[in-house]
Amino acid sequence: MNARERILARLRQAPAGAPAPLPDVDAWYAAAAAEDLAARVERFKANIEAAHAEVHETDEADWPALLFDLAAQKSLRTVLVGNGTPQAATLRSQPQQALKLVGYDRPAAAWRAELFERIDAALTTAKSAIAATGSLILWPDPCEPRLMSLVPPVHFVLLDAAMIHANLHAAMAAENWAAGMPTNALVISGPSKTADIQQTLAYGAHGPRELIVLLCRRTGVTS
């Protein structure tokens, strides 16, 4: 027998304990008061701002101008954008000179030093968001790889305001996560932080120092 078989055999030999039925997690969440989208948007904003993120309300037409403004205010020179995403195309089509747009178009290993040292910010989309904890849900993919939301010191996130769920459980159910998980799914609730030195909060521990949400209200979707 190998280690695996011996471990499993010992577990199987153990006496059965008291019955342990499968808990009804759905019922617990279903019992919570239903909230309309407008209330969820407000709760999302309040919670993520409390976690030191910035939220700027915008819409489908105006977010590129807002991004360029914010980048100028923060003296950002380079922004990493997705590889062949509509958002990257939109940004590239804007008349502006100040901000250099860098596409994530090669494997990270091929340009790690540049990625780690010479990129000021990144823009990604969020798949959805969570009101209860003020969190963004990201499913990185070949167009928007994992390190975009981690390595650059400033992270801009474009979020469709209609995609804000009540809590993570609701998001998982609505988006049917259990049917197929991506390589990496992320729930991000603020900029990187630590309180490891004398319980004093400091931002930008290893990930982004700033998390900036561009909350996009779709035309025709009022909340």
Partner 1 sequence: MSAPIHFQPATGFADRSRAAVNDAHLRRSFRGAMDFLQAKRLAQFPDPGELAALRDLGEAVRRYALANLPKLLEQLESKLTANGIEVHWAETPDEANAIVLAIARRHEAKRMVKGKSMVSEEVGLNHAMEAAGIEALETDMGEYIVQLAGEAPSHIIMPAIHKTRQQIAELFAAKVPGVDYNDNVDALIRIGRDVLRKKFAAAEIGLSGVNFAVAETGTLFLVENEGNGRMCTTVPRVHIAITGIEKVVAKLEHVPLLNELLPRSATGQAVETYQNFISGPRKQDELDGPDEVHLVLLDNGRTQAYGDVQLRTTLQCIRCGACMNHCPVYARIGGHAYGTTYPGPIGAIISPHLLGLGATHALATASTLCGACSEVCPVRIPIPDILVRLRNEAQAGNASALRGSGTARKPLLSAIWRGWALTYGHPTLYRIVSWLISRGSALAPSNQGAWTRSRTPLKPARRRLRDLLAARDSGK
**78-81 sheet: strands from edge to edge:** 54-59, 210-217, 154-160, 121-125, 78-81, 100-103
Contact with partner 1 (CB under 8 A): which of 172, 175, 217, 223?
172
Enter the tokens of residue 135: 């969190």
Enter the tokens of residue 209: 């120092």
- 152 is a site residue for partner 1 (CB under 8 A): no
| Residues 23 to 42 in contact with partner 1, rule: CB under 8 A | 23, 25-26, 28
- 64 is a site residue for partner 1 (CB under 8 A): no
- 198 is a site residue for partner 1 (CB under 8 A): yes
Piece of 35-43, 62-70, 98-106, 120-128 that binds partner 1 (CB under 8 A): 98-106
- 113 is a site residue for partner 1 (CB under 8 A): yes
Complex with partner 1: residue 41 or 138, whichever CB lies closer: 138
Q: How far apart are the first and last CA of the chain?
A: 62
Piece of 33-41, 63-71, 92-100, 110-118 that binds partner 1 (CB under 8 A): 110-118
Complex with partner 1: residue 24 or 36, whichever CB lies closer: 24
Contact with partner 1 (CB under 8 A): which of 88, 157, 190, 210?
190
Complex with partner 1: residue 94 or 184, whichever CB lies closer: 184
Complex with partner 1: residue 66 or 173, whichever CB lies closer: 173
CA distance 154 to 71: 10
Contact with partner 1 (CB under 8 A): which of 45, 70, 80, 104?
104
CA distance 59 to 7: 56
- 178 is a site residue for partner 1 (CB under 8 A): yes
Contact criterion met (CB below 8 Å) for 189 and 155: no
CA distance 148 to 138: 11
Residue 74, phi then psi, degrees to nearest 5 = -95, 10
* Closest to 155 (Cα-Cα) out of 82, 84, 79, 206: 79
Piece of 62-70, 84-92, 94-102, 134-142 that binds partner 1 (CB under 8 A): 134-142
Q: How far is the CB of 220 from partner 1 (least distance, A)?
A: 31
Contact criterion met (CB below 8 Å) for 92 and 101: yes
Stated as kind and residue range, the H or E segment containing 135 is strand 135-138
